[in-house]
Chains A and B, each alone.
Chain A
Amino acid sequence: MELPRWRPGKLTQIILHFILLAYSIIVLYPIGIMLLSSVKGTREIFTNPYGWPASLRLDNYSKAWKLANFSVYFQNSAFVSVMTILVLLFVSSMAAYVLARFEFRGNRALYMLFISGLMLPVRLAVVPLFTMIRDINLLDTRTALLMVYVASGIPFSIFLLVNFFKSIPKEIEEAAIIDGCGLFSIYYRIMLPLIGPALATVGIYNFIGTWNDFFFPLIFLRTKSKYTIPLGVMQFFGEFTNQWDMLFSSLTIAIVPVIIIFMVASKQFIRGMTAGAVKG
């Protein structure tokens, strides 16, 4: 929204741009160095960290990819993240719909129960979570991750979606009932599409959080073939500690896809990830 706002003069503008540019360099430089180093050999990284590579070692990427078994890590991260938001959106939108639209005695209490989860950092319950997952034989499974991520995403999801549902006019629902739609139909065919933007917001927020999470894979997973990307990178760093060309290549492989997707959909990303702190 363009508001007539305070627009300082040209000189100030130049100074401001200078400041913004300086910070941009601070942000981008480390990433740039990472990219630069990822196409060099280890010796070259040591002797000539800032210079242009003598020869572009693009095979560093394929080597790191194979050595680190990245295809498996990407698959695992993708599986866990995608499944998490699918299940989460489905489960929480159903619940949010009911909480927003139906009056019944426990409604307020139930809502507060869900919202209280916003204040409970799930990591602190990791000890019983760990023993419970272990005792039901789900240790070292991606399913365990899935359950925990979905459960921990429910409070915020319900919080956002209830508000959204409340803003939909009642007439739409009433019309659907008159037309003879059953409860699930109403939810699925009418309500869900109407809260598309909110679903996208919740989806992105949770997707990134799940994709980047390190803590729960660290606690729950033991088999390398089940590792997600952050854990896989840690494993790689431990095994190939001194091969800096491989280390930088692995970081690049892990980061660049996220950066690309972000550049393409930055507006949605930002909206999704700042949701809850930004009003409107």
Chain B
Amino acid sequence: MNSEIPTRQSSFLLFIRKHNYLLLVLPALLLYTVFIIYPFLNSIRYSFFEWSGVGPMTYIGLGNYHTIFFGALQEFFVRALKHNLFAFVINFSLQTIFGLGLALALYAVTKGSNLYKTIFFLPNTLSTVIVGFLWNLLLNPQWGMVNRFFEMVGLDFLSRPWLGDPKLALPTILAVSAWRGLGFPILVYLAALLAIPEEYVEAAKIDGAKGFQIIRHIYIPLILPTTFTLMTLSFIWTFNMFDLIFALQGASAGPNYATDVLGTLFYRITFGGMGSSATGMGLGAAIAVVIFSVLFPVSYLLNRISKKFEL
């Protein structure tokens, strides 16, 4: 081999030879870009078009967004958004009150905590959809075990059409989701409690603090960062809710859209369902972009705030 004039091709090869480790990054980068980054960018692009999924795409600028915020979809969008916010508030409250409460109980007991931990986390390992189907059976108004239980113990007034009453449907679904998901915050809080340095507790005891005071002044402030992390995750989770509602109420998120959230609205617009097959892929993409525009800044913000609380 004699000396070559460095052509573009060979200097590229030289670059690869020198930095051959970059090849190791390539597979991940490729997969990630093709299946995550590219579709995301495309989502934004599709949102400016009217498109049924196949055939011609018509450019309509901000038309889809207009439909969502001011047009035919406004009523549905606002209602779904309200339901997501409601879900977040309830979900976060439940996980903070009961998650932290049960974690404190686990922290304080002298034995059995391992067994409890395993039991509490069990529902988290189950598929959301399967949990939904199970509870659909349990909550059946005619034969479901829940209503039967209430009737058997004489609490007849508690035998309600849980999933059929517009006022009860969403709270019921949130209760089911809590049944499934509480194990996670419980264990996360427990780990955070266990990570509190002993000196703090010792110092408090020396100062004569009793049980509740220790909780209020030592534990709770020190787990604030964890609370923020859990709040962020709760926010992300409730804004992505779909599986459970789909399993319990179908894509139409009844009764009368009482359980409609952004996720089910998105699915319905994009893929149809419930007897209709309206596929507005452009409109669906626009909804996705809107959801994302809410999700990203808020979770980013919450993440920053939680970092600030870290000692």
Answer whether A and B are interacting partners.
yes
Whether B69 is near chain A, meaning CB under 8 Å from some CB there, is no
Q: How many angstroms from the CA of A115 to the CA of B273 in the assembled complex?
A: 35
A187-246 with Cβ < 8 A to chain B? 187, 208, 211-215, 219, 229-230, 233-234, 237, 244
Write out the residue numbers on chain B whose beta carbons fall within 8 Å of the beta carbon of A183.
20-21, 24
Does A131 lie within 8 Å of B53, measured CB to CB?
A: yes
Whether A19 is near chain B, meaning CB under 8 Å from some CB there, is yes
Q: How many angstroms from the CA of A262 to the CA of B236 in the assembled complex?
A: 26
In this complex, which of B32, B42, B187, B196 has the most chain A Cβ atoms within 10 angstroms of its Cβ?
B32
Does B192 lie within 8 Å of A7, measured CB to CB?
A: no
Q: How many angstroms from the CA of A277 to the CA of B306 in the assembled complex?
A: 12
Write out the residue numbers on chain B whose beta carbons fall within 8 Å of the beta carbon of A274.
184, 187-188, 191
Write out the residue numbers on chain A whose beta carbons fall within 8 Å of the beta carbon of B125.
208, 212, 258-259, 262, 269, 273
Does B128 lie within 8 Å of A212, measured CB to CB?
A: yes
Q: How many angstroms from the CA of A277 to the CA of B225 in the assembled complex?
A: 10
Does B109 lie within 8 Å of A98, measured CB to CB?
A: no
Does B187 lie within 8 Å of A278, measured CB to CB?
A: yes
Q: How many angstroms from the CA of A23 to the CA of B186 in the assembled complex?
A: 12
Does B184 lie within 8 Å of A244, measured CB to CB?
A: no
Q: For the complex formed, measure the closest distance between the CB of A90 and the CB atoms of chain B, giving whole angstroms.
A: 8
For the residues of A in contact with B, the DSSP-based class is helix
Q: How large is the interface on B (under 10, 10 to 19, 20 to 34, 35 or more residues)?
A: 35 or more
A contacts with B, residue count (CB < 8 A): 96
Q: For the complex formed, measure the closest distance between the CB of A45 and the CB atoms of chain B, giving whole angstroms.
A: 7
Does B194 lie within 8 Å of A266, measured CB to CB?
A: no
Asked if A129 meets B145 with Cβ closer than 8 Å, knowing A234-B247, A277-B188, the reply is no
* Smallest Cβ-Cβ distance to A19: which chain B residue: B105
Closest 9 CB pairs of A and B: A128-B42, A151-B35, A212-B127, A125-B39, A95-B28, A124-B288, A128-B39, A94-B24, A214-B129
Interface residues of A (CB under 8 A from B): 1, 3-8, 12-13, 16-17, 19-20, 23-24, 26-28, 30-31, 33-34, 37, 45-46, 49-50, 90-92, 94-95, 97-99, 102, 104, 110, 113-114, 117, 119-129, 131-132, 147-148, 150-152, 154-155, 158, 183-184, 187, 208, 211-215, 219, 229-230, 233-234, 237, 244, 247-248, 251, 254-255, 258-259, 262-263, 266, 269-270, 273-274, 277-280
Interface residues of B (CB under 8 A from A): 19-22, 24-25, 27-29, 31-32, 34-40, 42-43, 46, 53, 101-102, 105-110, 112, 116-130, 133-135, 137-138, 143, 145, 148-149, 152, 179, 183-184, 187-188, 191-192, 194-196, 198, 201-202, 205, 211, 214-215, 226, 229-230, 233, 236, 240, 242-243, 246-247, 263, 266, 270-271, 281, 284-285, 288-289, 291-292, 295-296, 299-300
